């Protein structure tokens, strides 16, 4: 690998570095000398300042002593004025307070002088004495004395008064304070003389030391300038070489930046931030790639130069910061993965940290999609495991076993329930094509052997039944469904087997029942033929003879015979009507007419026309509007409404014209409270309401049964089959009919017919 600098340039750099070391030594010596002279000058200046401060301090002490002495004298003057009543304000308290403050300041100023401190203590005692003697408020005694003297016009002062004696004591204290003042001033004057002499001496030495510092600095800088000038040419040549190499470095840097930009990973370089003990307390971003904006949403320029912990404080909690420190200290590559929240989104970031020359470099990979894929895979595995568990339970409940049969070598993998179907414990033997044939019924082996051939050649689902020997239950019937696929380029038949023994037995029973039912239907057909011909033939002849008798006239017939003749005629008509209704009822299920679209509005119109004479005779009013179009058998729907409307007219109130109202609505199946099989999502609810005699609600379910009548034949005519026919017709259309009523309040027949009929 070639170096970035040429050999000649490297040699010049080494020479410069070697000479630079010499100059570094000289520079250190020069700096040391300069620092020494500067320190001497600095000390001189400090001494001058200290001396000046001491002189100022002495002056301040003298001023404070004089001020304190003046306070003593001022206090004496105030007390005398109070006594002579020249001043009634009595400012003694204020002066005493100021005296205390001045004394405290003096005590603080003389803290470095033991002799003066002793004198201050004496002054404190004098202060206490004079404080106890002064009268800080107006004295009643002095006022009383003066008032009494004025009253007597006397100017004689009572020298024996207590206040005058107090003034004498105060004067004595003031004299003592003046003596102390002189002693303290004398002490301070002595100190002042000594400190002035020191100040004068320092004032001379300080400029000399400053001059020495300046000369030393001038010599050092002259030597340095001469040396630098000599190496200027060499440095310029080296700089030229360095410039060329820097250009190459810039090109390399641009190349690396291009690599960083093309990468989806966030590449960042950090330099450590150290405390006074050289411990890493933070890292500073020196560089980060553009990809950081995609991951965190923050711009590159806002991050570079910033603190890691200030920008992303969460790295302290999730352990990344400690790992970065470990990498910087140990130099070992570290890895870390954690969850971060950026712009309200949780992201998984995988970090690889490596040590570099002056810091560490971190490569961050957004593994969120990978983690989501892993979670989805884990969930799929869990779901698959759950489904396998459910499948195993379902196999056990349904009597089903699954298998994977490798057709090239006859080996197989079967479920636990496959073994149970055979009447053995799971995994009790290795299932192979030949081993399993031992359980197959001898008559069905040829069927079983076609499993492999059929699925391989036709490549489609195979389904057949065969028998096996169950060690516990004997012969069992199995239903096999298989399909050919490839697993690892091997032909495989996968599928299930189900124990259908109970179903075969039920089918056998069903066949027997069907045969019995077929025989019963043949007998019913025979009855229908008899009813339609043999039974009706005598009735037709009876009716024919009745007509001839009526044509001949009944004048010769006695009254009693005429009554019997009318009963015979009525019974014959009722018998014929009953036979016809029975035939209609029995033929409903046999009618295979095609279902058509039926407009119920037109149907009701036809019914009115069919029953026009009856409607006219009974003055019946039928109202309806906007009835739906349904799917059904036209003449059967007409028969349904003929029967329902005829029933409403028949059971109308005496002397009250029947009123029949027909309405409809479309409703969802789940909104229907009646219990019946609902094969359509929507139903038409058709209500036929009348104002007839009604019936008790307890008979609502009985009226649709055959031959069920709520009234005697003498009260109302009928056969008791009409509503049964209605029920049969509605059920033929996958609907439902029921009635609601109260006695003497009319009745409502409700018919539900599917909107989307499936025959």
DSSP 214-233: HHHHHHHHHHHHHHHHHHHH
- Return the DSSP state at 530: I
Closest CA to 724 of 736, 707, 739, 711: 707
25-63 pLDDT tens trace: 666 876 777 777 777 667 766 776 777 777 777 788 778
Closest CA to 529 of 581, 583, 575: 583
Please give the pLDDT value at position 2.
41
Cα gap 595→237, rounded to integer Å = 108
pLDDT greater than 60 at residue 449: yes
Residue 174 CB coordination number (10 Å): 19
Please give the pLDDT value at position 205.
66
User: pLDDT higher for 758 or 130?
Assistant: 130
How far apart, in Å, are the Cα atoms of 652 and each of 45, 644, 694, 696, 731?
136, 13, 8, 15, 27
- Strands 621-624 and 659-668 turn out to be parallel
How far apart, in Å, are the Cα atoms of 546 and each of 357, 555, 564, 738?
132, 15, 12, 41
Split at pLDDT 50, 70, 90, the class of 149 is very low
The DSSP code sequence of 133-188 is HS--S--HHHHHHHHHHHHTT-----TTSHHHHHHHHHHHHHHHHHHHHHHHHHHH
pLDDT greater than 60 at residue 141: no
Chain mean position to CA 281: 36
Rank 45-49, 120-124, 598-602, 714-718 by mean pLDDT and report only the highest: 598-602
- Do 603 and 637 contact (CB within 8 A), yes or no? yes
Three-state SS for 741? strand
Split at pLDDT 50, 70, 90, the class of 74 is confident
Cα gap 417→439, rounded to integer Å = 15
Cα gap 385→406, rounded to integer Å = 24
Split at pLDDT 50, 70, 90, the class of 659 is very high
Please give the pLDDT value at position 160.
43
How far apart, in Å, are the Cα atoms of 406 and each of 282, 538, 606?
64, 77, 70
pLDDT greater than 80 at residue 585: no
Cα gap 366→295, rounded to integer Å = 7
Chain mean position to CA 451: 53
- The model's pTM is 0.35
Please give the pLDDT value at position 559.
62
Lowest mean pLDDT among 304-318, 437-451, 715-729: 715-729
- Do 716 and 651 contact (CB within 8 A), yes or no? yes
- Return the DSSP state at 444: G
Sorted by sequence, the CB contacts under 8 Å of residue 710 that are 6+ apart come out as: 695, 699, 702, 703
343-356 pLDDT tens trace: 777 888 888 999 88
Q: What does residue 511 show for φ and ψ, rounded to 5 degrees? A: -65, -45
Per cent of the chain over pLDDT 90 is 8
Please give the pLDDT value at position 713.
47
- Do 51 and 195 contact (CB within 8 A), yes or no? yes
Please give the pLDDT value at position 163.
65
Three-state SS for 684? strand
Cα gap 685→542, rounded to integer Å = 45
Split at pLDDT 50, 70, 90, the class of 708 is low
Core vs surface per residue 440-479: b (16+ CB within 10 A) or e: bbeebeeebeebbebbeeeeeebeeebbbebeeeeebbbb
Closest CA to 739 of 707, 713, 714, 702: 702
Please give the pLDDT value at position 384.
76
Split at pLDDT 50, 70, 90, the class of 661 is very high
Cα gap 664→673, rounded to integer Å = 17
Q: What is the mean pLDDT of the chain?
A: 76
pLDDT greater than 80 at residue 9: no
How far apart, in Å, are the Cα atoms of 749 and each of 615, 645, 687, 703?
19, 10, 6, 11
Split at pLDDT 50, 70, 90, the class of 66 is confident
Rank 107-111, 528-532, 666-670 by mean pLDDT and report only the highest: 666-670
Split at pLDDT 50, 70, 90, the class of 186 is confident
Please give the pLDDT value at position 736.
93
The residues pairing with 662 across neighbouring beta strands, listed in sequence order, are 624, 688
3-state helix, strand, coil in the chain (%, to 5): 60, 20, 25
Split at pLDDT 50, 70, 90, the class of 690 is very high
Closest CA to 620 of 612, 610, 628: 612
- Do 649 and 621 contact (CB within 8 A), yes or no? no
Cα gap 512→506, rounded to integer Å = 10
- Do 178 and 119 contact (CB within 8 A), yes or no? no
Q: Tell me what the mean pLDDT of segment 422-438 comes to.
A: 84
Measured distance between the N- and C-terminal CA atoms of the chain, rounded to whole angstroms? 89
Please give the pLDDT value at position 699.
67
pLDDT greater than 70 at residue 536: no
Lowest mean pLDDT among 217-231, 285-299, 414-428, 743-757: 217-231
- Return the DSSP state at 671: G
Please give the pLDDT value at position 663.
95
- Do 61 and 188 contact (CB within 8 A), yes or no? yes
Residue 121 CB coordination number (10 Å): 10
- Do 447 and 466 contact (CB within 8 A), yes or no? yes
Q: What angle do CA 119, 121, 125 make, to 5 degrees?
A: 115
Alpha helix positions (H), 555-690: 559-587, 600-610, 612-618, 634-650
Cα gap 699→405, rounded to integer Å = 63
The residues pairing with 496 across neighbouring beta strands, listed in sequence order, are 402, 481
- Do 256 and 263 contact (CB within 8 A), yes or no? no
Cα gap 86→80, rounded to integer Å = 9
Lowest mean pLDDT among 523-537, 597-611, 674-688: 523-537
Closest CA to 693 of 661, 727, 716: 716
- Return the DSSP state at 307: B
Residue 636 CB coordination number (10 Å): 20
Lowest mean pLDDT among 1-15, 276-290, 498-512, 625-639: 1-15
Q: Tell me what the mean pLDDT of segment 408-417 comes to.
A: 83
Please give the pLDDT value at position 4.
47
Handedness of CA 510, 511, 514, 520 (dihedral sign): negative
Closest CA to 484 of 378, 408, 597, 586: 408
610-646 pLDDT tens trace: 889 989 988 999 999 889 999 998 888 988 998 899 8
Please give the pLDDT value at position 464.
77
The DSSP code sequence of 478-529 is EEEEEEEEEETTEEEEEEEEEE-HHHHHHHHHHHHHHHHHHHHHHHHHHHHH
- Do 371 and 348 contact (CB within 8 A), yes or no? yes
Split at pLDDT 50, 70, 90, the class of 71 is confident
Per cent of the chain over pLDDT 70 is 71
Residues counted in the chain? 759
pLDDT greater than 80 at residue 367: yes
Please give the pLDDT value at position 443.
84
Split at pLDDT 50, 70, 90, the class of 662 is very high
pLDDT greater than 70 at residue 237: yes
pLDDT greater than 70 at residue 88: no
pLDDT greater than 90 at residue 377: no
Phi and psi based region of residue 341 (left: phi greater than 0; alpha: psi -120 to 50; beta: remaining): beta
- Do 456 and 484 contact (CB within 8 A), yes or no? yes
The beta-carbon contacts of 454-462 under 8 Å, at least 24 apart in sequence, are 455/407, 455/482, 455/483, 455/484, 455/493, 456/407, 456/484, 456/491, 458/484, 459/484, 460/484, 462/493, 462/495
Closest CA to 637 of 665, 683, 595: 595
């Amino acid at each position: 690998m070639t170096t970035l600098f040429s050999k000649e340039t490297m040699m010049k750099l080494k020479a410069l570095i070697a000479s630079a070391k010499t100059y570094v030594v000289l520079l250190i010596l020069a700096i040391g000398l300069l620092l020494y002279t500067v320190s001497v000058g600095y000390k001189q200046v400090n001494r001058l300042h200290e001396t000046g401060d001491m002189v100022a301090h002495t002056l301040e002490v003298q001023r404070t002593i004089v001020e304190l002495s003046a306070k003593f004298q001022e206090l004496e003057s105030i007390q005398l004025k109070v006594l002579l009543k020249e001043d009634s304000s009595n400012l003694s308290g204020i002066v005493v307070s100021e005296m205390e403050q001045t004394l405290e300041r003096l005590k603080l100023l003389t803290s470095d002088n033991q002799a003066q401190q002793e004198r201050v203590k004496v002054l404190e005692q004098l202060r206490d004495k004079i404080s106890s003697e002064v009268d800080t408020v107006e004295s009643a005694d002095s006022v009383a004395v003066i008032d009494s003297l004025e009253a007597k016009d006397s100017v004689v002062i009572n020298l024996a008064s207590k206040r005058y004696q107090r003034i004498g004591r105060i004067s004595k204290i003031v004299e003592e304070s003046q003596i102390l003042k002189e002693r303290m001033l004398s002490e301070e004057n002595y100190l002042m003389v000594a400190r002035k002499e020191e100040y004068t001496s320092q004032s001379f030495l300080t400029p000399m030391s400053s001059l020495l510092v300046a000369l030393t600095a001038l010599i050092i800088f002259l030597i340095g300038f001469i040396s630098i000038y000599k190496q200027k040419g060499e440095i310029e040549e080296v700089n030229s070489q360095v410039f060329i190499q820097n250009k190459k470095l810039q090109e390399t840097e641009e190349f690396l930046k291009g690599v960083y930009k093309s990468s989806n990973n966030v590449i960042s370089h950090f330099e450590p931030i150290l405390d006074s003990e050289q411990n890493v307390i933070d890292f500073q971003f020196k560089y980060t790639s553009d990809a950081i904006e995609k991951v965190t949403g923050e711009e590159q320029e806002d991050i570079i130069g910033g603190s890691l912990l200030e920008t992303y404080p969460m790295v302290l909690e999730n352990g990344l910061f400690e790992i970065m420190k470990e990498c910087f200290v140990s130099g070992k590559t570290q890895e870390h993965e954690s969850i971060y929240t950026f712009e309200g989104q949780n992201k998984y970031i995988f970090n690889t940290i490596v040590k570099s020359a002056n810091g560490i470099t971190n490569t961050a990979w957004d593994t969120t999609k990978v983690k989501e894929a892993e979670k989805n895979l884990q969930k799929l595995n869990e779901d698959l495991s759950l489904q396998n568990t459910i499948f195993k339970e379902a196999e056990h409940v349904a009597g089903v076993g699954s298998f994977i049969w490798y057709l090239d070598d006859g080996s197989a993998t079967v479920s636990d329930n496959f073994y149970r179907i055979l009447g053995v414990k799971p995994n009790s033997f290795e299932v192979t094509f030949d081993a399993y044939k031992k359980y197959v019924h001898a008559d069905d082996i040829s069927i079983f052997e076609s499993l492999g051939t059929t699925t391989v050649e036709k490549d489609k689902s195979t389904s057949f039944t065969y028998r096996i020997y169950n060690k516990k239950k004997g012969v069992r019937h199995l239903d096999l469904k298989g399909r050919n696929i490839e697993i690892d380029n091997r032909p495989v038949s996968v599928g299930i087997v189900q124990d259908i023994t109970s179903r075969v037995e039920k089918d056998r029973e069903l066949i027997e029942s069907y045969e019995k039912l077929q025989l019963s239907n043949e007998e019913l057909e025979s009855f229908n033929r008899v009813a339609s011909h043999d039974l009706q033939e005598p009735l037709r002849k009876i009716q024919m003879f009745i007509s001839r008798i009526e044509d001949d006239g009944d004048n010769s017939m006695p009254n009693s015979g005429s009554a019997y003749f009318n009963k015979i005629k009525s019974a014959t008509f009722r018998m014929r009507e009953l036979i016809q209704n029975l035939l209609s009822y029995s033929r409903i299920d046999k009618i295979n007419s095609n279902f058509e679209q039926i407009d119920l509005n037109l149907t009701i119109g036809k019914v009115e026309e069919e029953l026009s004479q009856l409607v006219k005779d009974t003055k019946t009013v039928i109202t309806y509007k906007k009835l739906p179009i349904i799917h059904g058998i036209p003449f059967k729907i007409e028969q349904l409404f003929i029967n329902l409307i005829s029933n409403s007219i028949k059971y109308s109130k005496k002397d009250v014209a029947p009123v029949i109202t027909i309405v409809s609505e479309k409703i969802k199946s789940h909104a229907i409270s009646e219990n019946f099989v609902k094969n359509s999502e929507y139903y038409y609810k058709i209500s036929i309401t009348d104002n007839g005699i009604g019936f008790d609600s307890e008979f609502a379910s009985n009226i649709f049964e055959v031959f069920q009548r709520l009234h005697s034949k003498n009260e109302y005519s009928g056969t008791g089959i009409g509503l049964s026919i209605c029920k049969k017709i509605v059920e033929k259309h996958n609907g439902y009919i029921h009635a609601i009523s109260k006695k003497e309040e009319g009745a409502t027949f409700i018919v539900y017919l599917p909107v989307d009929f499936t025959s």
